[in-house]
Chains A and B, each alone.
Chain A
Amino acid sequence: MAYDYEKYIRPGKLPHIWCPGCGHGIVMKGLIRAIDTCGLKKEETAVVSGIGCASRLPGYLDFCTLHTAHGRAAAFATGVKMARPEMNVILVGGDGDGTAIGGNHFIHACRRNINMTYIILNNKIYGMTGGQFSPATPTGDKASTTVYGNPDPAFDIAKLAIGAGATFVARGTAFHANQIDKLIAEAIQHKGFSVVEILDDCPTTYGRRNKFKSVIEMMNHLKDIAVPVKAAEKMSPEQLKGKVLTGVLYKEEKPEYTEEYAKVITRAQAAK
């Protein structure tokens, strides 16, 4: 069935800046389907991003869109949500933007459990600047600043989010396109800070340096490493080696920040 994406795309803003073979467009379509499923109104929804390839995504969407500075999306978004809690707030960004320069804002947004959804498009590289290693680049991989192999260990972004206190954490891949909208929709419907990590591909600055001969090969790799959490339960540690769990990884109900602050207001007014 043909889906009416144009309903949510800003007139005249396409084509996008992404390279041929980049998965960001797949994620954007998934996000649009999720927003449509959740019935979010354009005027009541803010889509906030930082800097990088993924952070250009909000500009194509017909909502209140805020393209902030590098790493700062979560902090700007916190201001939007606090000042106007009735707005739906969705964050979009890359792995470097969100977990390196924006790492502090990210973990504290998780900790507060403020009701926003953060979609991290993890292509394991700083793409816009030409392919430098990010906190998500696996050890040993090649980047323009690790030509001898990356000495850094990588973050597991989903685990980082769970550890920091996010109350909904899911992971998908750009290959599993039909799952993306379901994960994002569930994240949006969750009350609290939700994180959806989408493993993505960057053929231009990551793939060609790391023995991927084509986009198809990169996509097949995403397909091969992904193991749904349910399936993983029946697999041995041996079988799970080199695999990445996908689906809803963590979910819990906890007090949400803007609701807790509403109680602060009630207490302050009672004490007046």
Chain B
Amino acid sequence: MAKKVAFLQGNEAAAQGALYAGCKFFAGYPITPSTEVAEVMSIELPKIGGKFIQMEDEIGAMAAILGGALTGAKTLTSTSGPGLSLKQELIGYGCIAEIPCVIYNVMRGGPSTGMPTGPSQSDIMCAKWGTHGDHPAICLVPASVQEVYEETVRAFNLAEKYRTPVMIMPDEIVAHMRERIVFPEPGELEVIDRTAPSVTPDKYKPYDTSFGDVPPLAAFGSGYKFHVTGLNKMQDGFPTTKAEVVQAEEERQVRKVEANAADIMKWEEYLCEDADVIVVAFGSTSRSARFAVDEARKAGIKAGLFRLITFWPFPEARLLELSKKVKGFVSPEMNLGMCAGVIKGCIEGNAPVLGIFRVDGEPVNPGQILDKIKEVK
């Protein structure tokens, strides 16, 4: 039987991907340019017995998906720049209390209200450093409508597997463009559910590290009763200020992601094998970059594309490896050099990083990237 296809917008694909992953609860607040996710979820969730709620503000929406997630549901919220700033308080809560959930953030111009309908890629540092304190960060940056769907499914899987909030961040172009999408059949994509406790309620501890760095999470209302707090906590979930416990727990919370980076990281290398110049790009910018790389190859320049699909954790080791073989990197991005800075931070000065930084609400075009590729000597 032929697979179901559709001509879909990125935001609509995110909602469909969330449903495929088993999302049963959505809380949101209207914000351009991500509102379509909320609209689709408000229509589709009740059809399958799921719940949609429009909250009073962005913070409330984040709180509601954390509360919903604690009852065992897979939960989603969607937002954009200013909303992401507001959600940061409780993204930190999700990190320390280790509550799986997915935050879909469409990158628009900023800071503040910025350019609400203009594309941007300037929230990527906010995904890692936006909330205070040390915490794990997982951030996915899809580049096509198909990939928005598939990466949304993966975002839920990673949230459930590592018991932490996961962000998926298309730029506004990817979120609003329409493309052909082929829907995966049920069972075709992996769908991961959080590990349920294997002990009886009287033995259960919500942060029991004898089960490893990702302790099983029970659901409120399932017969297990336990305490959840945003304070530094012990294995039983109660607050502590005991130095060695706080140190160990903080390290574990970060380690559970960092030590599993190989499982979480995803990127695509296009013509990088023999490349003298590698363009590192993500989201819609990577589409311009691919075109520019093809043009460069036609002109006899050995160019390649390193396309980030996971932004955090960042593929530091692989870029370091490649930096020893190339003459330079090009980093086209819709911000003032955030990704370029991260690249520089992991290649030990082995190669120059030439940037193309646009914050004028226009995409980086292939010609700009081609010109920059040619500058690498």
Query: Which chain A residues border B43 with CB–CB below 8 Å?
Result: 268
A106 to chain B, nearest CB (A): 10
Query: Which chain B residues border A84 with CB–CB below 8 Å?
Result: 71-73, 220-221
A123 to B87, CA, bound (A): 29
B60 at the interface (CB under 8 A from A): yes
Do residues B46 and A64 form an inter-chain contact, with CB atoms below 8 A? no
Do residues A43 and B201 form an inter-chain contact, with CB atoms below 8 A? yes
Do residues A64 and B53 form an inter-chain contact, with CB atoms below 8 A? no
Do residues B67 and A104 form an inter-chain contact, with CB atoms below 8 A? no
Do residues B71 and A76 form an inter-chain contact, with CB atoms below 8 A? no
Query: Which chain A residues border B47 with CB–CB below 8 Å?
Result: 268-269, 272
A59 at the interface (CB under 8 A from B): yes
Q: Which of B228-236, B252-260, B261-269, B291-299 contacts A (4 or more CB under 8 A)?
A: B228-236
Do residues A82 and B46 form an inter-chain contact, with CB atoms below 8 A? no
- Within B44-83, which residues are at the interface with A (CB < 8 Å)? 46-47, 49, 51, 53, 55-57, 59-61, 63-73, 75
Do residues B230 and A78 form an inter-chain contact, with CB atoms below 8 A? no
Q: How many A-B residue pairs have CB under 8 A?
A: 141
- Within A34-69, which residues are at the interface with B (CB < 8 Å)? 42-44, 46, 48, 58-59, 62-69
A252 at the interface (CB under 8 A from B): no
Do residues B56 and A86 form an inter-chain contact, with CB atoms below 8 A? no
B238 at the interface (CB under 8 A from A): yes
A78 to B70, CA, bound (A): 12
Contact (A67, B63) CB under 8 Å given A83-B51, A272-B47: no
B223 at the interface (CB under 8 A from A): yes
Query: Which chain B residues border A43 with CB–CB below 8 Å?
Result: 201, 221-225
Query: Which chain B residues border A87 with CB–CB below 8 Å?
Result: 71, 220-221
Do residues A83 and B68 form an inter-chain contact, with CB atoms below 8 A? yes
Which of chain B's residues has its CB closest to A72's CB? B63
Do residues A65 and B227 form an inter-chain contact, with CB atoms below 8 A? yes
Partner among A64, A264, A267, A268 whose Cβ is within 8 Å of the Cβ of B220: A64
Query: Which chain A residues border B222 with CB–CB below 8 Å?
Result: 43
Which of chain B's residues has its CB closest to A88's CB? B221
Count B interface residues, CB 8 Å. 45
Partner among A13, A64, A81, A108 whose Cβ is within 8 Å of the Cβ of B56: A108
A265 at the interface (CB under 8 A from B): yes
Query: Which chain A residues border B221 with CB–CB below 8 Å?
Result: 43-44, 46, 64, 84, 86-87
B207 to chain A, nearest CB (A): 14
Among A63, A75, A265, A268, chain B packs the most CB atoms within 10 A around the CB of: A75
Contact (A83, B225) CB under 8 Å given A76-B64, A268-B43, A268-B46: no
- Within A164-209, which residues are at the interface with B (CB < 8 Å)? none
Do residues A79 and B63 form an inter-chain contact, with CB atoms below 8 A? yes
A87 to B49, CA, bound (A): 17
Do residues B67 and A69 form an inter-chain contact, with CB atoms below 8 A? no
Which of chain A's residues has its CB closest to B201's CB? A43
Do residues B238 and A72 form an inter-chain contact, with CB atoms below 8 A? no
Contact (A80, B67) CB under 8 Å given A43-B223, A59-B238, A64-B225: yes
Query: Which chain A residues border B226 with CB–CB below 8 Å?
Result: 64-65
Q: Scoring A residues 1 to 40 as 1 if CB is less than 8 Å from chain B, else 0, what string do you get?
A: 0000000001001000000000000000000000000000
Do residues A78 and B53 form an inter-chain contact, with CB atoms below 8 A? yes
Query: Which chain A residues border B223 with CB–CB below 8 Å?
Result: 43
A13 to B93, CA, bound (A): 23
B17 to chain A, nearest CB (A): 20
Do residues B90 and A69 form an inter-chain contact, with CB atoms below 8 A? yes
Among A62, A81, A272, chain B packs the most CB atoms within 10 A around the CB of: A81
Contact (A79, B68) CB under 8 Å given A64-B220, A269-B46: yes
Do residues A46 and B46 form an inter-chain contact, with CB atoms below 8 A? no
Contact (A68, B230) CB under 8 Å given A75-B64, A76-B64, A80-B70: yes
Among A58, A64, A107, chain B packs the most CB atoms within 10 A around the CB of: A64
Query: Which chain A residues border B51 with CB–CB below 8 Å?
Result: 82-83, 261
A105 at the interface (CB under 8 A from B): yes
Query: Which chain B residues border A63 with CB–CB below 8 Å?
Result: 225
Do residues B64 and A67 form an inter-chain contact, with CB atoms below 8 A? no
B93 to chain A, nearest CB (A): 5
A176 to B66, CA, bound (A): 36
Query: Which chain B residues border A80 with CB–CB below 8 Å?
Result: 67-68, 70-71, 220
B250 at the interface (CB under 8 A from A): no
A51 to B319, CA, bound (A): 44
A65 to B238, CA, bound (A): 10
Query: Which chain A residues border B89 with CB–CB below 8 Å?
Result: 69
| Additional A-B contacts beyond A66-B228, A79-B75, A83-B25 (18; CB < 8 A) | A46-B220, A48-B67, A65-B226, A65-B228, A66-B227, A68-B63, A75-B60, A76-B66, A79-B63, A80-B67, A81-B67, A82-B25, A82-B68, A83-B67, A84-B220, A104-B56, A105-B57, A269-B46
User: Chain B interface (Cβ within 8 Å of chain A)?
Assistant: 24-25, 27, 43, 46-47, 49, 51, 53, 55-57, 59-61, 63-73, 75, 89-90, 93, 201, 220-231, 238-239
What are 14 contact pairs spanning A and B, CB under 8 A?
Answer: A43-B221, A69-B93, A72-B60, A72-B63, A75-B56, A75-B63, A78-B53, A79-B64, A83-B67, A87-B221, A104-B57, A105-B56, A105-B60, A105-B63
